Structure formats: structure tokens, C-alpha cells
Structure 1
Amino acid sequence: MTLTSDLMELREEEIAKHYDAALALLDGFDHAPRVAKPTAAPVAERSPGVGTRRRFRSTTPGLVTRREERPEGVHLIDRVAACDGDDPLMSSRQAAVLQALRRALAIGLALGEGFAEQTGLADLKRKNLEGGLGVDRKAEFSELLAAEALIVMHASANALVSLLADHAGEVTVEVGEVEEFLTDNASLALHGALWELDQDLGAHAEGDEEKLVPTVTAFAEALMEKAARRAEGLARVAPFANASYRVEADDLTIRGFTPARKAGGPALVMQFKKPHEVVGNHIAKYQAMKLAKMVMAYDFDRRLNPFAELGGFIFTFMGDGAPGTGKTTLIQMMAGLINDYCQNAGYPFRYQNFGIDNIDSYQGKSGQNAKAFVQNILDPSVIGFGTIDDIDQIAGKRGDRQSSAGQQEVTAVFMEAFAGANTVVRGNCTFGMFSNYPENVDDALRQRAGARFLVDGPQTREDYIDILALLMGKRHDIPLGDHELYAAQEIKRAVAASFEAHGRPKEEGLVKVFAEVEARIGGFDTIAKLGTYLKAIQEADERFTGRAIKNITDAVKVRAMDFELPDEWMEEPELFLFKPYDEKSAMIEELRRPITIDMVVQEINRYADSEFRYADKSDEVAIEGMVRDMGRQDAARRRYLEGKG
């Protein structure tokens, strides 16, 4: 394996040398189930009179095992062939499934072999085969064998799901949990897993070819899930869990125990909105439009975005506002812009929303869903946009007894992903968190949002006329009247006014701090005076920490990049997008604006206003809850005493 950027390349020759072993597994082997009970009859011979197939009995090199055999064996080639009834010829779908199975098994075996060489397991196998394995190494040997088994099963299943993605249809099959899940060694693990796949095909797809791919895919996903659960917390799997492997021929990237996805992702089904259809929300709309172009500057060869290197790239942001103010419309606008830009440039685009349906009652599953979501968007081979709608319902506050274990898992995953020790911002993707009640989001998670988009909806008379005309549509004869439609949504004019409005704070608590500091030190015209103001804010709200200062300075850098990349750069990719990284970086540098005192004051006030707004609401909600509880206790006490009397 060779290193390419952050990925280890899994070469074709390393995969191809395992084709014979993979084909032999599909052709036939014997397996006596240890855990599960047979649910399907053995597959019938398709050609009476023809000699039985050869039985393949594989062994793990260096491992002495005792196996019982069952006479009928497992023959997946025959089982797949039986899915179309009595047709003597194999269909293209059946052939595709068998090709995918052979390829996936070969990939899993290749990764298992690489793990064995990397960890010294291969040497231990040889010593065991020669009878020279010391007693002091047997525990290590068993642990490494189990780790290899988990890796081979997960990687094979992971590759299988990806390879069959283009053959998936509307039919779904429920296969349940994988029961014959064995981890003694990789060979036995594959025997158990393929025995169970054989049973599932016999139970669900016998004579029904439409259920062939759904059954295989459902089995592979169940196998992946169980292998990932078993691998959690096992130190021996770390070399694989922390690595990424690229199979170029299949457009497949395997990142540890995270489910892989095709680079382009599923087709994006969404009702896109145009910028003029987002009424009000001027700063949020402006920043979303800028960010949609910023992310397009990503360089796939360098795997870095000049904006991320120069400063000013928004990796995470939070959009908050009352229900009905336009958060969903903002998402539809931004996703639509990025999608159009990517289609024009021929770039793969992946959009995904993490919703409440991703919270699972099974312990650990919610965290796995969150990790998969993050990894899908972070994938450096795509342009990604991930949204977390109603994050206050999805991610629980730490220490909140009303938050489920699943919500706590999600909070931990997002905190690590958005600003953890291993977080790398390449500039190929952005995450947006949206909430009607951001005060209910964990403080530390909320502060990981580098930018704040206040989604306050229509504000002016002109805004309300525009939104009424927009929603009424064109199927009426009511005259517009004295109004220039959408003129108030002219973005630059509206944004300039919105930013200037933050020259002084708006929230009552912050207004007092600002007035006190201003009266004491005068205008904010030096870094020392700005620092004095920041310290005063911290004294008023202890949650205003160093992370808040970083978010403010990042926002100031965004303001320094307060320019839109020209539309023609998106329409004609050769003008900018397809240029070398250094040339793109130089073009951006030429457009950069100088940082001013006014910018810094406005961004301090904008960020601090949001924190004070969240804190005030959070405190008020907590007080109201306590008041209700006390009222209930008093009412219960009175009713109890009345009953006693």
C-alpha cells in the first residue's frame, strides 16, 4: 500500500491475489452453525446428474482449528442462481451480485492481510503453525485474530454495499441481526457470515430475483453494524479504525468502521430556492451566498481551499430564529446554489441532513449515525454541505437528565468533529446547525459554531409586500401597487445597513456592558480598548470564553473576505475553479479587504448579542420550569390536605 495525501492506496494487485480464495468461498464450503439455527433448506442442484461441486475447506495459516462439517455445505453461486426460479441462464443482476461478492470479499481479505502485516499478526500465525508460539503471546494472538476477523467482515460488507449501490431499487428486505457472528479468526468469521447470507437468500429471495440485491444489501448493512459495535473500544483494531484506504477502480474510500458512500452521493431531491425568494434575513442570506461560492474554491488535487488557508472560511455556523422565519428556505437556497455550481463544474456534491430520525434507542447507534453523517460530509473527494435541523432536539445538553443517551452520544460526536483535537478543516464542506431554540443547545456545542446567522425573517414594510407577492404567485389579477418588487432584497444595500446596525449592541444585558465600558475608556479605537470590552463581557457572562474570541476573529476574517466571487467565475470554471491552487489563492488575495475597527466592534456585538440572547432565554426557560414545578407541588399539597380533611 502506498500513501496518497491522507489515504492509503489499496492497489489492484493486492486485491486480485485474493480472487481465488473469494471465488472458492462462493463456490462452496462446509459450515456447522454454532449460534444461529438454519431457516432455509439447502439449495437444490440445478442440473441433476451433474457431479457435485468441489468443496473448499480453507484454513487460517498458523491456526489449528477443529471443525465439524455438514454434508450439504454452503453454495452461494447456486443460491444466487436459484433466485430466478428455473431459468437455466444467469441474469445480469445475478452476475452483478456474484461479481460484487467476489470483489468485496477480496477487498476485505486484502485489508485483513495488510492489518496482519502491520500489527505482527502474520508473524504470530507463522510461529503458531510451526508450534513455536509462546504461552505469553497466546492472549495477544487471540486478540489480534479477533480484530482481523472484525476488519475483514466489516470491510467486505462495506465494499459490498457500495458496489451494489447502483443496482438498488425500491424493494426493501428486513433480514434482522446477524446471529452467526464469529470472531475466532477471519476464515471462520467469513464462513459464519456467508452461511447466514445463504440462509437469508433462501428465506427472502428464493425464486424472487427482485429481492436478490435488497437481501444482500440488508445483510451487508447488518453485518457492518454488528462488526462496528463489537469493534468499539477495542485497542487492537486502532491501526485500521484510524486509517483510510482508497480503492480507485471502485471509487471507494474505506475509513475505518465508518460506512462508505459513493463520491457523488444519492441524487439530491430538494425544492431549491432562488436568493430573491429568501425575504429578509439579509446578513444570513449574504453569508450563505458567499459561503456557497467559497466552498467551490476547494482544490481537489491539493485537498485544500485557499479560503481555509488564508482565513475566513466558515466551517460551522448556526442559524437561529423563531419558527417560520425562513431557516428551511435558507437551506434550500444554499444547497441549490452549491448544487448548480457543482453541476456546472462537474464536481461531485453531497448534501445530507441529520434529523431526529437518526436518534436510535439502541445504545451506541445514535453515535454511529452521527459519525457516519460527519464522515460523509467531510469526505475530501466531494463538495459537502451538512445540515442539522432542530439541533436543540437532536443534541442533548450534558448533564441534562431529560436528554436521552442517544442525544448525549450525538453531542459528543459533534463536539469532537467540529472543534476537536483531530479536526482538519480542508474547506471542501460546511456544516449548518439550525434551531428555533438555540438556548437549549449545549453551550460548548453552540460555541463550536464559528458563525452566527440570525434568521429573523421579514422585518420591513417592503419585506412583507415582497413575501406576500412571492407566496401569492401569479394566478391572480390583484395589482402590485406603488412598490418595486424585490428592490428591498438588493443584497449589498441591505447587508450594509444590517452590519452598521451592530455598531452598538441590542440585547439589554450587553447594552449595559457596552455603555459602562465606553463611559470609562472612551471610543474603541485600539486593540487594548477592544480587549477591555471583551473582558467586561466575560465578567457579565462567564460562558464568554476564549473560544468566543476565536469565533469573533474568524468572523472578522470573513468580513475581510467581504466580497462575492464573480458569478462568471462559477459560470465559466476555467476562469477560476480549474486554475492551479496557487493562482486561485493569489486571485483571492487581490480581492481581500483591510480589517477595520468598525468591523471588529460590529462582530463583537453581533456574537455577544447572540450569546446574551441565548443565555437570557435559557435562564428564563429554566425559571419558568421551576415555577411550574413549584406550582404543581403547592396544588398537590393543597389537594392532599383537603382530602385528609
Structure 2
Amino acid sequence: MTTSNDLMELKEDRIREKYPLAEAMLAGFDHTPRIAAKSQPDVVQERSPGLGTRRRFRSTTPGLVTRSTARPEGVQLSVRILECDDDPLTTPSQASVLRALRRAIAVAHVASDQFAEQTELADLKRSNLAGTLDASRKDRFQQLLSASALISLHVFANMTDFLLSGLVGTTEEATVQSGEVEEILLDNDQLALHGILWELDQEIAAAQVETDSQLIDLITSFCEQLMEKVALRAENSLVLHPFSQSRYRVEADDFEITGFTPAARARTASLSMAFKKPEEVVGNHIAKYQAMKLAKMLMAYDFEHKLNPFAELGGFIFTFMGDGKPGTGKTTLIQMMAGLINDYCANAGYPFRYQNLSTESIDSYQGKSAQNAKAFIKTVTDPNVIGFGTIDDIDQLAGKRGDRQSSAGQLEITAVLMESFAGANTVVRGNCTFGMFSNYPENVDDALRQRAGARFLVDGPQTREDYIDILHLLMGKNHAIPVGDHDLFEAQAIKKAVAASYDRHSRPQEDALAKVFDEVQAKTGPLDTIAKMGAYLKAIQEADERFTGRAIKNITDAIKVRAMDFELPDEWMENPDLFLFKDYATKKSMIADLAQPITVDMVIQEINRYADSEFRYADKSDEAAIDNAVRDMQRMEEAKRRFMEASRS
């Protein structure tokens, strides 16, 4: 497998040089815990001379611990792992676990050494050993040592989890979960690894692991917790930029280190969603067409290059908003798109991850809601998977700034989503997309709503033909009622329906926008030049001050999508060798060949489509505000009346 140019390889000979150190750490070392509480040892039962040391009596009484969890002779993690069952022989899985831990410790040391060489840490270490470290540089020295410790911990946990991810061929749920990881020490990388290996030893002992599957479940659970905690601590550290902005590869294991992003999470979780086929979505022609195109766009992502040609050429939809009345088909649209991506990924052997941010993410504890939202974003944006994230009923989940009804948790989620969708550190690789859905988009914060690069009006069935089609579809087959004078699903022919839908936007749909459109055309004539279209945009801004520069960016992004107004051929999805498995440059060239030039009609239609949605939201938002103000006035009048009556009595 070839590597992309921005990958730096961690040399195999340097990794193997660290094996003796890693083996020594697994064999035994002394550690006095500083943060985590030490488990209390139980009475160790005496053994008769000549008896093996691996077999032991295991109580059948639930909750009764019959072995020590702490060793007086220090931490001996390799022995602890070998004692995880009653078999005196080492099992293949135990051997694999020990090899994975040795490999992960060695790679963690090499990664921290690489960081030291990239920064001044290596020089500071030499000065410190020689006793010549200047006092003014001690703070910087400790900052870099702490950064090196975080790198060692994350790489160790990341690679251990990666190597163990496919070790046991079982589909069972994890039977053993690790407790909270606490012994995270940041004095230096060596002490950090000592602390975490000590705690892993304690966890294995306390859990009374009895099978290889339980052992692996426990270790992977421990590693995933450790990665999350380390990533949170590393989040705002500028010292770590040389590591977090670089990518490393261990060729022999096909393992990549991408900052503090977990690699083993590329495992696909099984979805229990009821998928829908495109023909089961009636109406919503533009929304359906865009969703079908976007599902195929995601599949163009190149896992080696960590980039999608569509993201480079233009036309990739990173965020979109679907709005419409209740019952118009938003959930069906989600089910259709997730089903298409799931099937495409299954055929190509790509890992797919779908996740929904629900109202359960809102927490009363300060900061917890933000953590939940960040975890959602990180899960979907993992560059090792194809991701699809949805935020259903976003008006309930994300708070509107300035709205007294918004809770602190809702406002935290709003802040995270705004930063993640169009923040200074937002990187669009083209491996994932986020859909925000709402019945009441006017209740969504203006700035967050404008971070939706595309707008899907989910208006459900509209025509007589649509209603006949949906009635026939939902009634099923348990009847003999004739269809009558109607060609079933002829109105759902996607190309024909989409063309008609786009044509409708050659003129604005909202009355307020249509007035602006007519006034500009009366002054300038047909909007057939950049100057005239710019004048139209300025007139829209004068009518609605919320129509800002971000709106123009979203419109131009939508125009680029129209320039890519083609579906990748089904054959490319069905036979991955035709396109999906090509190298990045070839895929980019194949896509560029399908692009079409931007036309005046495209620009006018996309301006109207976007502006229509903003005027629609503004009208509803204003009406909602007026209704609330009227209710407040009515309540105040009633309160005054009751107060006067009480005063007279």
C-alpha cells in the first residue's frame, strides 16, 4: 500500500530498538500511585510446594474476590495477563495481547522521541542532564515534557486499541468495562506510561477477568477512555501543534497516527436503522436528488490521501439544513441517505459510521453538553471512516443566543456546532457530512443556521401524482384495489422532477423576495452579468440585514455543487475497481471530466433558493416574536386586572 506525501514513517528499526525497554516495563517496575486509589490486597492463600503458579481457585460466590489486586513486588503486567484464566499454558490471545502492548509501548516511545526532535525538547533534555539548563527555560522544559507525556499516552492507547480491534472474532457486546482512568501523570513520558500501566494492571485484577474475550474488552475499554481524557487535555495546547498537525505511519501494521484522532474507531458499528430506498421517498425532489448525489460524493474520499476530490474541486456539501412542516419526510430522507451510504460502503469494504446528536446530549452539568457535542463531531469527522452525522430537531437541541428559554446546555451545543462547522480550525476532508433538520428553522440561531452550506426544503408530496404515489406506497400489497388512470411513480422520475423544481426558482417563491427581484430587474434589466447579480444581492441585504457575506459563500458553494450536477455512475459504486479503488489523482481527473460550466440560470436559481429560505425563516421568526410579545402583553394586562381587583377588595 502506498503512502501519501504528507505521511512521515516511523522507522521499523527505531521501533524495535525500544523493544527491550517495553519488555522490561511489562515484566515489572515499581510505582507509587499519586491520583488513583490503590486497590487493597486480599490475603494470598498459601500453596503447597510443587504446585503450578498459574492455576488457582476461583470462587463461585458473586462479588467475592479471592486474589490480590496489588503485588508487593511491584507491577508485573505480563504475569497479570497470563493469570487471567486457569490454563497453565499461554493462550494465543494472551500472547497477542502482550505483543500488542509491547509494540504500542515501543511506538509511543518513538513518537515522543520524534516530538522531542521536532521541538527544542531534545536540546533541553541534554542541557538538563548536563546540569546547564537555564532557570528561565525550566517552565518551557516542563511544558514540553508534559506534551511529550500526552503524546506517549495517546499513541500507546491508540495503537493498543488498533491492534486489538480485530483480535477476537466475536459479535458479542463488551462483557467487561474498565473503570474511570485516573492515573494520568504528565511529569514525563516514562512516568506517564508507568502510571497508566500500573492502573491497567489494577483494572485487570479488580475485574476478575476469566476469558480472553473479557481481557480484550477490558483493555480496549481502558484505552478508549484514556484516549478521550488525553485528547481533552491536549485540546487547547499550542505546544502540541508539531504533533497534532503531523501524520505518522507505522508501515508494518498499516497504522496511522493523525494527531489525537483514534485510529481503531474505523470499525463499523452495525446500524439498526430501517433504511429506505429512493423510490420510497415521494416528493422532496431537490432534497432527494441532492442527498443521492452527496451519498456518492462521500464515496470518492481517498483514505490514503485523506481528502476527497470534490472537496478540492468544489461542490462538496459539508453541512446542510433540511426544513419543512411535520410529516413531510425528513426522517425518511435521513433513512434513505444513510441506507445508500451504508450499502456503498459495504460493497467497497469501507468503514461507515452514522451518529445522531439527540436531546439526550443536553446535560445539566456545566460543560458536559459541550463535551457530548464535541464527542459527536469527533466521531463523525474521524478521517479513517465515511461519516454521516445528523442533528434532528436542531431547534430543540441548540439554543438561540439571546433567547431566555435557551438553557446553558443548549447554548454550549450551539457554540460547539458553530465552531466545528465553520470555525478557524475546521478542516473539510470530504469524508463526512452533517445534516441539520428542523420543523421550525426560524428558532435556530441565525449564525448557526447560516453555517449550513446547502438548504433542502423538505416539503413532502405536492402534486396530485405525488399523493397517489404515496397512498399506493403506504397501503402495501394486501389489497386488490386498482390504481386507475395513473402511471405509478412517473412523477418521481428524478431528473425530470429536479429540472422542474430548479426552474421554479428562476423567480423567487417568497413574496417579499419577489418584490426585491422585480425592483432590481426594473432598474437593471435581466440579471445576466456579475454586476447586475451583485446589485441584486445588495438589494436583498438591504431588505434583510441578516443576509451577510456568509450567505454569499453558501450561495457560491451551492453554485459549485450545480456545476457538479451529475451523479457518479452506479457502476462505479457497484464495481469499486472502476473508480473507488483508483488513486487520488485519477479520481480527481475522472470527476473533473464530468463537470459542467456555470451558467447564469444556475446562479439566479441558487440565489433565489437560498434567499427564499432566509426570507421564509425571517418571516416565521418575526411572527413567532410578535406572537410571544402579544402573549406577554396579554399576561401583563390580566395581571394588572387581577391586581386591581385584589386591591379593591
Q: Residue 229 of structure 1 contacts residue 364 of structure 1 at CA under 8 Å; is this kept in 2?
A: no
1:327, CA displacement in angstroms? 1.6
Count of residues paired in the alignment: 628
- Per-residue deviation, residues 149-183 of structure 1 (Å, max 9, x unmatched): 22222322233333333347413545443333322
- Per-residue deviation, residues 16-66 of structure 1 (Å, max 9, x unmatched): 33222222222211122233332252796998769999xxxxxxxxxxxxx
With normalisation by structure 1, the TM-score equals 0.87
Match of 2:465 in 1: 462
Match of 1:159 in 2: 159
CA distance in 2, matches of 1:456, 1:197: 54
1:501 to 500, 504, 527: 504
3-state secondary structure, aligned to 2:201: helix
Stretch of structure 1 that moved more, 213-222 or 317-326: 213-222
Q: Residue 4 of structure 2 contacts residue 304 of structure 2 at CA under 8 Å; is this kept in 1?
A: no
3-state secondary structure, aligned to 1:602: helix
Match of 1:29 in 2: 29
CA distance in 2, matches of 1:104, 1:120: 25
Match of 2:64 in 1: none
- Per-residue deviation, residues 396-431 of structure 1 (Å, max 9, x unmatched): 334545445554444344334433344444444333
Match of 1:105 in 2: 105
CA distance in 2, matches of 1:209, 1:389: 40
With normalisation by structure 2, the TM-score equals 0.86
Q: 1:152 corresponds to which letter in structure 2?
A: S
3-state secondary structure, aligned to 1:317: strand
1:415 to 413, 418, 421: 418
- Per-residue deviation, residues 449-483 of structure 1 (Å, max 9, x unmatched): 22111111111222122122222222333333332
Q: Residue 288 of structure 2 contacts residue 333 of structure 2 at CA under 8 Å; is this kept in 1?
A: yes
Match of 2:605 in 1: 602
Match of 1:123 in 2: 123
1:280, CA displacement in angstroms? 0.6
Match of 1:271 in 2: 274
1:281, CA displacement in angstroms? 0.3
- Per-residue deviation, residues 593-629 of structure 1 (Å, max 9, x unmatched): 4433322222111110101111222222233334334
Q: Residue 538 of structure 1 contacts residue 545 of structure 1 at CA under 8 Å; is this kept in 2?
A: yes
Q: 1:340 corresponds to which letter in structure 2?
A: D
2:619 to 586, 605, 616: 616
1:627 to 627, 630, 638: 630
Task: Say if 1:404 and 1:90 are closer, same or farther in 2 by CA, change over 3 A.
Answer: farther
CA distance in 2, matches of 1:483, 1:251: 56
Stretch of structure 1 that moved more, 583-592 or 114-123: 583-592
1:231, CA displacement in angstroms? 3.0
Stretch of structure 1 that moved more, 589-598 or 14-23: 589-598
1:205, CA displacement in angstroms? 2.6
Stretch of structure 1 that moved more, 546-555 or 579-588: 579-588
CA distance in 1, matches of 2:113, 2:621: 54
Match of 1:286 in 2: 289
- Per-residue deviation, residues 298-354 of structure 1 (Å, max 9, x unmatched): 455555444334433323221111222212221222222233333444444443333
- Per-residue deviation, residues 117-168 of structure 1 (Å, max 9, x unmatched): 2222233223222322232222222222222222222322233333333347
Q: 1:134 corresponds to which letter in structure 2?
A: D
- Per-residue deviation, residues 222-265 of structure 1 (Å, max 9, x unmatched): 33333333334333333333333333444443333333344353
Q: Residue 205 of structure 1 contacts residue 215 of structure 1 at CA under 8 Å; is this kept in 2?
A: no
Matched, 1:89 2:89: yes
1:278, CA displacement in angstroms? 0.6
Task: Say if 1:266 and 1:110 are closer, same or farther in 2 by CA, change over 3 A.
Answer: farther
Task: Say if 1:224 and 1:639 are closer, same or farther in 2 by CA, change over 3 A.
Answer: farther
2:322 to 316, 319, 323: 319
- Per-residue deviation, residues 477-532 of structure 1 (Å, max 9, x unmatched): 33333322211111122112211111221223212222332333333233322222
What does 1:166-245 correspond to in 2, within 5 Å? 166=166, 167=168, 169-173=172-176, 175-207=178-210, 211-245=214-248
Match of 1:20 in 2: 20
Task: Say if 1:581 and 1:98 are closer, same or farther in 2 by CA, change over 3 A.
Answer: closer
2:542 to 539, 543, 549: 539
Task: Say if 1:24 and 1:402 are closer, same or farther in 2 by CA, change over 3 A.
Answer: farther
Task: Say if 1:342 and 1:191 are closer, same or farther in 2 by CA, change over 3 A.
Answer: closer
What does 1:570-581 correspond to in 2, within 5 Å? 570-578=573-581
Task: Say if 1:152 and 1:591 are closer, same or farther in 2 by CA, change over 3 A.
Answer: closer
Match of 2:492 in 1: 489
3-state secondary structure, aligned to 2:388: strand
Task: Say if 1:194 and 1:570 are closer, same or farther in 2 by CA, change over 3 A.
Answer: closer
Q: 1:271 corresponds to which letter in structure 2?
A: A
Q: 2:237 corresponds to which letter in structure 1?
A: L
Q: Residue 32 of structure 1 contacts residue 70 of structure 1 at CA under 8 Å; is this kept in 2?
A: no
Q: Residue 40 of structure 1 contacts residue 203 of structure 1 at CA under 8 Å; is this kept in 2?
A: no
CA distance in 2, matches of 1:623, 1:14: 69
Match of 1:476 in 2: 479
Q: Residue 43 of structure 1 contacts residue 75 of structure 1 at CA under 8 Å; is this kept in 2?
A: no
3-state secondary structure, aligned to 2:37: coil
What does 1:508-523 correspond to in 2, within 5 Å? 508-523=511-526
Q: Residue 259 of structure 1 contacts residue 372 of structure 1 at CA under 8 Å; is this kept in 2?
A: no
Task: Say if 1:589 and 1:77 are closer, same or farther in 2 by CA, change over 3 A.
Answer: closer
3-state secondary structure, aligned to 2:198: helix
1:576, CA displacement in angstroms? 4.3
Q: 1:185 corresponds to which letter in structure 2?
A: N
CA distance in 2, matches of 1:578, 1:276: 28
Gapped runs of 5+ residues in structure 2? Answer: 54-69
Match of 1:60 in 2: none
CA distance in 2, matches of 1:584, 1:179: 46
Match of 1:80 in 2: 81
What does 1:348-497 correspond to in 2, within 5 Å? 348-361=351-364, 363-400=366-403, 402-497=405-500
Match of 1:62 in 2: none
Q: Residue 282 of structure 2 contacts residue 460 of structure 2 at CA under 8 Å; is this kept in 1?
A: yes
1:550 to 550, 553, 556: 553
Q: Residue 179 of structure 2 contacts residue 203 of structure 2 at CA under 8 Å; is this kept in 1?
A: no
CA distance in 2, matches of 1:281, 1:46: 75
Q: 1:224 corresponds to which letter in structure 2?
A: M
Task: Say if 1:356 and 1:133 are closer, same or farther in 2 by CA, change over 3 A.
Answer: same
Q: Residue 10 of structure 1 contacts residue 245 of structure 1 at CA under 8 Å; is this kept in 2?
A: yes
CA distance in 1, matches of 2:369, 2:119: 31
Stretch of structure 1 that moved more, 391-400 or 553-562: 391-400
Matched, 1:8 2:24: no
